[in-house]
Amino acid sequence: MSSLILIVDDDILILNAVKRLLRRDKRFTILTFNSANDALEKLKTLSPAVILSDMRMPEINGLTFLSKAKEICPDSIRIILSGYADTSLIIDSINLGEIWRYLLKPWDDSNLIQTISNARDLYESRRREEAAQEKIIQLNRRLQNIISSVYDGVLITDSDGFCIITNKAFKNIYPAEIISHPVEDFFTAMHSDKSFEEIISSGKARGTISEIHVDISVGRYDESIHNNAFLVLVIRNITREHEVEQLKSDFVASVSHELRTPLSSIIGFSKMMLRNDSLPVEEQHEFLSIILQEAERLSSLVENVLNLSTIESGVISYSFKPILLRNVIDNTVSTLLSSLKESNIFIDVESTADSTIPGDFHALMQVFVNLLSNAIKFTPAKGNIQIKLHETAETISVSISDTGMGIPENELTHIFDRFYRVKGRNVKGTGIGLHLVQEIIKAHHGEIEVKSTLGEGSIFTISFPVSNRITEIHDISDSHLL
């Protein structure tokens, strides 16, 4: 690679002599000026590796010229060519960093070539160093960006175990200042079954940091001959997974309980009937109704569990037909008549809607069975349940309100989560009913919302887009005292 060497001298003969001398070296491209001002003008557009200037020139002296050249091209290496008379001035300039070297006139050819060559090498090596540094800065920046975009928390230490890099996800988990602190500070704040040494040697740990559940993996990056290693910690926030695990195990416990209770009464009453041939017909009838009711409870539970698994596996298929919601609701009420009677709950159905919606009858039945079963389950005896169907030009809405125990405000957003159950209630359930309701309504392009006041009751409102109006007129209102 050829480097630009700029030479300034008012004496054309000297200029040409230097030019001839340096031109032999292919590493140099020579540019000469016999006017310092012209050279300064040219420097605005050029960046030479070396500037060689004569000392005594008519416009400005060489030192002033080189000092101005330094302002324009600070990276160029500056050399002055002068006689003995100016040496003290030149030494001052070298000490002030204005120039790099000086060459005496008359010069020695090989000395001049060597000095220019050294200056050129110095310039090029500085340029390479700068480029390498710039590359390191860019790489560093890219690395920082990569680390900060990692979804999990990252914490990196130096070889002495002091924290040097963290990312945003880490700060969300552990907001306290950790940079320049020993990594042990982080482990002290974390609750885990393992000690710091065990975590480092096994490379894995689970624990909690102020109620956040974390899964940590520790990587070691050994620095060649040193024994110490950089530590790279990846900290994953597993609070949600932990909650789901917890909910799942609660679910398994409550499903098995839910299965066992009806099964034991089915078995118990069947045995009683088998053992006693002379049971009065009324009693037989009573026992059989209990068996039927418990079997229906079992069937609805199994249905919910199966539906959950089909929805979760994504293989559910609905058969959409025009559906009159009033029919679905009447069917649901008939199915749940015995529970309503048993709980001594009054139900009222009121409808001003006579349009159909595109829907799957079986799935919609499940929606209303789940909502109505909850309303019955969470409403004390002698309570009221009111179902209202109402339609506008675009939607049909159904509201199911009860005078039950209500739902705490802070849990309203969670009740549609799978396996979620309001805490501290001694009522049977699995926490999948409302999740299924929401999934089925979503598949019908509908919406569900809930309003509730603790101790007063809840209102679940569903709305579906209307498909077409039908001509058949239905009763406007109907009520049953059960």
Single out the residue of 351, 331, 336, 368 nearest to residue 446, CA to CA. Answer: 368
How far apart are CB 247 and ligand ADP at their closest, in Å? 11
- Give whole-number Cα distances, 201 to 8, 218, 219, 231, in Å: 68, 9, 10, 11
Binding status of residue 441 toward ligand ADP by CB under 6 A: no
- Judged by CB under 6 A, the stretch of 17-25, 59-67, 237-245, 373-381 that binds ligand ADP is 373-381
Q: 10 Å Cβ neighbour count for 421?
A: 22
How far apart are CB 223 and ligand ADP at their closest, in Å? 55
Binding status of residue 375 toward ligand ADP by CB under 6 A: yes
Q: Which residues pair with 233 in a beta bridge?
A: 155, 218
How far apart are CB 415 and ligand ADP at their closest, in Å? 4
Amino acid at 165: I
Binding status of residue 415 toward ligand ADP by CB under 6 A: yes
Q: DSSP label at 388?
A: E
Phi, psi of 144 (to 5 degrees): -60, -45
Q: How many CA atoms lie within 13 A of 166 on its CB side?
A: 20
- Per-residue interface string for the shown chain with ligand ADP, residues 325-364, x marking contact by CB under 6 A: ----------------------------------------
Question: Could you give the strand order of the β-sheet that contains 477-480, starting from the edge strand earlier in sequence?
Answer: 447-453, 457-465, 395-402, 384-391, 346-351, 477-480
Nearer to ligand ADP (CB atom), residue 328 or residue 371: 371
Q: Out of 48, 207, 359, 429, point to the residue binding ligand ADP (CB under 6 A).
A: 429
| C-beta separation of 423 from 294 below 8 A | no
Q: Out of 81, 364, 405, 462, point to the residue binding ligand ADP (CB under 6 A).
A: 405
| C-beta separation of 39 from 60 below 8 A | no
Q: Out of 328, 431, 439, 440, point to the residue binding ligand ADP (CB under 6 A).
A: 431
Binding status of residue 207 toward ligand ADP by CB under 6 A: no
Subset of 69-108 contacting ligand ADP (CB under 6 A): none
Q: Out of 433, 446, 448, 463, point to the residue binding ligand ADP (CB under 6 A).
A: 433
- Give whole-number Cα distances, 253 to 264, 303, 308, 410, 419, in Å: 16, 18, 17, 25, 11
Single out the residue of 328, 268, 320, 331 nearest to residue 294, CA to CA. Answer: 268
Q: Out of 458, 462, 463, 464, point to the residue binding ligand ADP (CB under 6 A).
A: 458
First to last CA, the chain: 100
- Judged by CB under 6 A, the stretch of 7-15, 200-208, 222-230, 416-424 that binds ligand ADP is 416-424
How far apart are CB 139 and ligand ADP at their closest, in Å? 52
Binding status of residue 407 toward ligand ADP by CB under 6 A: yes
Binding status of residue 438 toward ligand ADP by CB under 6 A: no
Q: DSSP label at 142?
A: H
d(CA 421, CA 248): 11
3-state DSSP call for residue 257? helix
How far apart are CB 262 and ligand ADP at their closest, in Å? 14
How far apart are CB 430 and ligand ADP at their closest, in Å? 4
Binding status of residue 422 toward ligand ADP by CB under 6 A: yes
d(CA 68, CA 74): 9
Q: Out of 78, 297, 421, 444, point to the residue binding ligand ADP (CB under 6 A).
A: 421
Query: Residue count at the site for ligand ADP (CB under 6 A)?
Result: 22
Binding status of residue 402 toward ligand ADP by CB under 6 A: yes
**Footprint of ligand ADP on this chain (CB under 6 A)?**
370, 374-375, 378, 402, 404-407, 415, 420-422, 425, 429-435, 458
